Amino acid sequence: MLNQFKNKPIRIALLLALPLAISACSDDIREVEVPVEVIVEVPAPEPVPVDISYEITVTNLTNSQPLSPVAAVLHADGNLFSIGDVASVELEKMAEGGMNDGLLALGMASTSGAAPIGPGGNETITVTVQDVTDAKLSVLTMLVNTNDGFSGLNALDLSTFEIGDTWTGLAGVYDAGTEVNSEAAGTIPGPADGGEGFSATRTDTGYVSMHPGVVTNDDGLSSSVLTVQHKFDNPALRIVVTRTE
């Protein structure tokens, strides 16, 4: 193998030298050495995409707030929400109605939970991306017995995660600021009411903030369909993220 490579440049050099010798002179034949640089282009091996996977376990820590199917989204940079910013329509649809399709489409890779997660329950989902080890992970879910309350993980930096590394965190509850917290009949999509989910009309403060909590009928909001069972405090979720490959 080594010899083959060694010989190749010489052969090529002779081929090139020959026409030169013939045309330049007929009497004294001189050997002309033409240095030829041969670049052997070895075709680069087709890179095999490497799967980078994260296992995400979300546990519902609330008393009576089912969580809408979780959206786990890997994105390159930025945030899917920030306190003080106006909520995107994708976030609004999730926070008001538990619909996560829009959020899932925002990432380079994403996975949806299979079903709502009941109080005390948990679900583990896996999100996989190819070759990217420095993505941001956002995890989002609605507390469905609220007007526009959601919880989750905001752009966790994965760049330092090695295979087997685990991160555990507790998440508070945010308010999308897109639907006023009336707690009124017909406005809450969860089982406490069975009311309307997403509505394009924005009726709240207009910006994302921490959630002030639900008041409930039992605690003095006479027009509320919620009871003391639906109260929650921070944190509302436990999230465990493990890089598995």
Partner 1 sequence: MKKLQQFCAATALAVTALPTLAADVTVEIQNITQGLHFTPIAAVAHTPDTSLFEVGEMASAEIQEMAEGGSLAGITTVATSIGADMLAEPTAGPLAPTEKVAGTFMTTDGNSVLSIVAMILPSNDGFIGLDNWEIPTEVGTYTIYLNAYDAGTEANDELVGSGMPGMPGMPAPPFLTLGTGGSGVATTEANATVHIHPGNIGDDSLTDGASDVTNSIHRWLNPVAKVTVTVN
Q: Which chain residues interact with partner 1 by CB under 8 A?
A: 83-84, 172-173, 175, 177, 181-183, 205, 207-213, 215, 219-223, 233-234
Other beta carbons within 10 Å of 12: 14
CA distances for 233 relative to 53, 155, 172, angstroms: 32, 22, 8
Q: Which ranges constitute the DSSP H helices of 25-121?
A: 89-97, 101-104
Report in angstroms how near the CB of residue 205 gets to partner 1 at its nearest: 6
Q: What is the C-alpha radius of gyration for the chain, rounded to an integer number of angstroms? A: 31
Note if the bond before 35 is cis, omega within 30 degrees: no
229: helix, strand or coil: helix
Report in angstroms how near the CB of residue 181 gets to partner 1 at its nearest: 5
Report in angstroms how near the CB of residue 190 gets to partner 1 at its nearest: 18
Which lies closer to partner 1 via its Cβ, residue 132 or residue 184? Answer: 184
Report in angstroms how near the CB of residue 235 gets to partner 1 at its nearest: 10
Which lies closer to partner 1 via its Cβ, residue 234 or residue 244? Answer: 234
Which lies closer to partner 1 via its Cβ, residue 112 or residue 182? Answer: 182
Q: Which residue, among 181, 183, 179, has the nearest Cα to 224 in the 3D structure? A: 183
Which lies closer to partner 1 via its Cβ, residue 43 or residue 220? Answer: 220
